[in-house]
Chains A and B, each alone.
Chain A
Amino acid sequence: MATLELQITDDIASSAPQGTRRLGLLFWAATGWLIFILAAAILAPLLPLPSPTDMDMLERRAPISALHWLGTDALGRDELARVVYGARISLTVGLFAPIIGLTIGGALGMLAGYFRGRFESFVVGSMDVLLAFPPLILALAVTAYLGQSILNLTCILGVLGIPAFMRVARASTLTLARREFVIAAQALGATHARILLRELLPNVALPLLAFFLLGVAVTIVVEGALSFLGLGVPPPISSWGSMIGEGRESLEIAPQLAFIPAIAMFLTVLAFNLVGDTLRALTDPRQGAL
């Protein structure tokens, strides 16, 4: 069967990445924000900020001033410092929980897509069972039983993310494992481990990475929602979500207490989404043109 590739349409396909250059400004702004917020979070103890836990009862709900750049909250704590320290919590959970999903889900997905058969049915089945659990109830049950802490929260959110990563990895692996270059590796006598790591992983990694960034965005929001409800990080540790929750009481007199952490969360989630989408657009045409 002769398949004569129209070189012309291939050229048109490979011009698709030009689209990402149009996103150029947005993409770099998003990356810039992410670098900024990550740096701020990591370097928080070294920054010349007032302590986020110092309560100043005389300066409660103070507006923006030279002393307090973003004002103070209902208990007189510096808002800017709270946002920065809140970033630490939100980003820690936001980054580490999807990493659990990425490593475990990604590995399971690749193995399932490669080996197929009963192993695959088992993995897919268990993921379906996991997905069937109402996530909020599961989170509540775990925190009620094991206690509220950042570690527990990260773990439970991580586990809940495994099925999604498994699906992405499996879908990618299924298409790739049937391509001739994998059969060629088998014909050379490569072990399964070698094929998975050296042939499949470099190709599956990019879509997984793109999905990971989107997962970070989602996790930040979910953690925020849980903390907002008081079910996330335990006080006095506060993430952006809990700050929004606390700000709810002062909505009429000092709405900025809820909006400032919300804006911070919004910008960060948007930035992760933009970077993730751009990466996905970059990886797809490459694979399509091949």
Chain B
Amino acid sequence: MSGPALLSIEDVAVELPTARGNLRAVDHVDLALGPGQTLGIVGESGCGKTMLSRAILQLLPKKAKLSGRVIFDGQDLVRLKAEALRKLRARSIAVVFQDPMTSLNPVLTIGTQLIETLQEHLALDVAAARRRGVELLAAVGIPAPEQRLNQYPHQLSGGMRQRVAIAIALSCEPKLLIADEPTTALDVTIQAQILDLLAREQRRRHMAMILITHDLGVVAGRTDEVAVMYAGRVVERAPTRALFKNMQMPYTAALLAAIPKIDAAPHTPLAAIPGRPPDPTRPLKGCSFAPRCRYVSDQCLRGKPALTSAEAEGHSYACFHPLTIAAGVSA
């Protein structure tokens, strides 16, 4: 990544007190993203990816304790005052969530929600905001945008609602878009459309994007860099091509192997990962993936591996026994 980072996450940790004990949702994560770049964050439920995105936006639950620094465009967001943060949120950083039904207000029309944001952050009058709203809806591929302004979220399909959510997110020309599982709740043909839309808008606006997903297929063709998270930590991080060609962390390789491939023959037994995802309230002393790892040794149980750099540029992993053979993309 050339040039200064737009977003730099330094040693960020998030702790949540819960009934079952202290939960380490995010465990000392370091990431960086340059302007116009796409970072994919891959992980399963409970790995901390959503908490990380909330930490960036400073939208954590009240009881959460955040440590570390989140430097965006030169400013440390953790230290920023509430008012400055609020201004930052729509104008510079925008979010698209998984479920558009809950991220859009069901009792307000699309128009109201879109225009409100425009008026608030761009200080436009109603007429100008309305015109801009129609432009945005058209840009995200919604047919008959003028009519849509007067409709309610439940009158639109899931794909349409997600487009509206994207329109609202893009309305104030943010420098960074965080897309948290934007297509998980959508059908595969709509998913492809939405991901294409995001890529197109990103190129047009030279916008940086963080794409959070559980699907390795989604990040493969659409990101510059991928970070794989497990149990609150980044366990592997590399430029996308390098990651798929040369996986070092056994978890990443196992995750890829466990996905049924469309070109595999029917009834091929799947390479399942044994065991269960880790319990965030009961962190292990050693590597979190150790109970499920094929290559586990005593060293893995004694302490957590630190993120070390591979010989390849920009590729780092957290493992005592990295895979030296290229796991790659096998059928």
Contacts and interface: CB of A to CB of B under 8 A. Distances in A.
| A/B: CB atoms within 8 Å of each other | yes
A18 interface: yes
B280 interface: yes
Give the interface size bracket for B toward A: 20 to 34
A146 interface: no
A18 B48 CA distance: 24
Nearest to B279: A7
Interface string A40-56: 00000000000000000
Contact of A11 (B23, B181, B185): B23
Given A2-B184, A2-B214, A14 B19 contact: yes
Contact of B280 (A4, A7, A14, A18): A7
Nearest to A15: B19
B281 interface: yes
Interface in A53-83: none
Given A2-B214, A18-B19, A8 B46 contact: yes
A1 interface: yes
Nearest to B17: A15
A4 B181 CA distance: 10
A11 B281 contact: yes
A7 B46 contact: yes
Interface string B135-159: 0000000000000000000000000
Chain A interface, >50% SS class:
loop
A144 interface: no
Interface string A1-30: 111111110011011011000000000000
A17 B18 CA distance: 11
Interface residues of A, number: 14
B266 to A, nearest CB: 22
Nearest to A12: B18
Interface in A126-170: none
Interface in B1-35: 16, 18-20, 23, 25
Nearest to B21: A11
Contacts of B181: 4
B309 interface: no
B44 interface: yes
B20 A14 contact: yes
B18 A2 contact: no
Contacts of B63: 12
Interface in B261-320: 277, 280-281
B45 A7 contact: yes
A4 B44 contact: yes
A168 B51 CA distance: 37
Given A1-B185, A2-B214, A18-B19, A8 B51 contact: yes
Contacts of B277: 7
Interface of B: 16, 18-20, 23, 25, 44-46, 48, 50-51, 61, 63, 181, 184-186, 214, 277, 280-281
9 contacts: A4-B214, A5-B45, A6-B45, A6-B46, A7-B45, A8-B46, A11-B20, A11-B281, A12-B18
